[in-house]
A and B are shown apart, each in its own frame.
Chain A
Amino acid sequence: MLRRLAVVALVVTACSAPTADITGGTDLPTITVEEFTSHLNALDRPAVVNVWASWCLPCRSEAPLLAEASKTYGGRIEFIGVDVQDSQPDARQFLAEFGLDFDHFFDRDRAIPNHYGGIGTPITIFFGPQGELFALHNGVLDERTLALNIDEILQLGA
């Protein structure tokens, strides 16, 4: 029995991605609510804003989905990450691990999610092309919710 468990553990470990080794990198820029809303308004295209933290387990689950979506829709939608209540080194490690290569901001005090009425972490907020709030999703994302709301904000911009 123990041998079987050891084999299963070995297989599971081998199948999982290695942890990224982050020794350097630059800090995420900090941003205020005012700066953030100005940034959104200036985009002139829809935006998906994901509020995350490196310590947040559900954020790990949805990160690959966001990475895939940003690769598919990155040309038509702005993907933005907002890292809350986190440390810069942990944030860099998280981003490198999941390959979330869109813009991220550092919001230690959670001012941005609080401004939009979000609860907990993660939160995903969908904005229209003029920076208007379309939908706010509290909690971990599933593919359907993400795809549906992406379709909605793309139609707002059409």
Chain B
Amino acid sequence: MEFSLLWAALTAVAAAWLGLRIWDEHLPDRPMDHLIAAVVIGLVAGRLVAMIGDGVNPLTHPADIVIVRGGVETVAASVAFIAALVWGARKTPGAVDAMAPAVLLGVAGWHAGCVWRDTCLGTPSDLPWAWAQTGSLVTRHPVELYAAVGLVVGAIVVSRVGWRLWARAGVALGVAAGIRLITEPLRPSLSGGPVLWYTAGILIGAVAAAAGPRFAGSSANHST
């Protein structure tokens, strides 16, 4: 059992729960259930895509699906999470917008959970707050904490976006993708990270925020 991963996940859940307590306007019924269901669907989808990409057949090795630490395809997981969240809250217009700041706070919690997993560090740095991993003299950027701080700020910014259908959700997607894109060069990586997908996330978020109300019509707009 990977307890450090579990602690990181619990940190994310606690942060999302806190977000739902802080920004509780227009929420659907049982918003935490919506979020957790969407996260589970996202994880399974991301894991399946990662397994297939690695040449591991999920049908012949079904037990591999639960080995989350073996790799989760971030893009597939994110797309499945968003789709599940939108689908789950489809009967409550604006529910995804209402949950958007809490989702960002949850993602911030996941990044901050690096302290449990000992995975905060990135590329070498001489900055005063950089630190070294055990047994090393090389100090490094705590890149995941940078991302966590950015996402908390992003959640606050998103919570201030005016009430229009898809406006907060779109800005939240753009903020999440943008923070991953900005911090990606500081992460140790073999492949360089999915920077094109992060860029696509920013664009899709911007389009959703700008064009959503037009497709939804004025009757779906909210007022506070």
B-binding residues in A (CB < 8 A): 9, 12-13, 15-17, 57-58, 60-65, 68-69, 72, 97-98, 134-135, 139-140, 142-148, 150-152, 155
State the CA gap A12–B121 with chains docked (Å).
Answer: 36
Q: A60's contact among B52, B61, B121, B135, by CB below 8 Å, is which?
A: B61
Q: Main secondary structure on chain B at its contact with chain A?
A: loop
How far, in Å, is B136 (CB) from chain A's closest CB? 5
In this complex, the member of B52, B61, B70 whose beta carbon has the largest number of chain A beta carbons within 10 angstroms is B70
Q: What 8 A-B pairs come out closest when comparing CB atoms?
A: A61-B70, A17-B55, A147-B188, A16-B57, A64-B54, A148-B188, A15-B52, A140-B70
Q: Are A148 and B121 in contact (CB-based, < 8 A)?
A: yes
Partner of B67, one of A12, A134, A140: A140
Contact B133–A152 (Cβ < 8 Å): yes
Question: Are B57 and A13 within 8 A (Cβ)?
Answer: yes
Q: Which residues of A contact B70 (CB under 8 A)?
A: 58, 60-62, 140, 142
A152 to B67, CA, bound (A): 26
> B56 to A134, Cβ gap below 8 A?
no
Task: Tell which of B124, B133, B136, B189 touches A143, judged by Cβ atoms closer than 8 Å.
Answer: B189
Distance A58 CA – B122 CA, assembled complex (angstroms): 25
CA distance in complex: A150, B59 (Å): 33
> What residues on B are CB-neighbors of A72 within 8 Å?
190
- The residue among A61, A139, A147 with the most chain B CB atoms within 10 A of its own CB is A61
Question: Which residue of the partner chain, among A61, A98, A152, contacts B136 with CB atoms under 8 Å?
Answer: A152
Closest chain B CB from A16 CB (angstroms)? 4
Query: What B residues does A69 contact at CB under 8 A?
Result: 190
Q: Tell yes or no: B93 within 8 A of A by CB.
A: no
Contact assessment for B59 and A12 in the assembled complex, using a CB-CB cutoff below 8 Å = yes
Question: A97 to chain B: which residues have CB within 8 Å?
Answer: 55
A140 to B2, CA, bound (A): 10
Please indicate the chain B residues that have their CB under 8 angstroms from the CB of A139 in the complex.
2, 69
Residue from A63, A144, A155 within 8 A of B119 (CB atoms) = A144
Q: Report if B58 contacts A (CB, 8 A).
A: yes
* Chain A residues, Cβ within 8 Å of B57: 12-13, 16-17
Question: Given that A139-B2, A152-B133 are contacting pairs, would A147 and B190 also be in contact in the complex, using a CB cutoff of 8 Å?
Answer: yes
Q: Is B71 an interface residue (CB 8 A)?
A: yes
Distance A155 CA – B51 CA, assembled complex (angstroms) = 32
Q: Is the CB of A140 within 8 A of B64?
A: no
CB<8 Å pairs between A and B, sample of 13? A16-B57, A16-B60, A58-B69, A60-B54, A60-B70, A63-B54, A134-B135, A142-B70, A143-B190, A144-B187, A147-B188, A151-B188, A152-B133
User: Which B residues, 39 to 79, have Cβ-Cβ distances below 8 Å to chain A?
Assistant: 48, 51-61, 63-64, 67, 69-71
A152 neighbours in B (Cβ, 8 Å)? 133, 136, 138
In the bound assembly, the distance between CA atoms of A17 and B123 in angstroms comes to 34
Bound CA span A134–B137, Å = 11
- CB pair B71–A61 under 8 Å, yes or no, is yes
* Nearest chain A CB to B148 CB, angstrom units: 15
- Interface assignment of B191: CB less than 8 Å from any CB of chain A: yes
Q: How far is the CB of A122 from chain B (nearest CB, A)?
A: 10
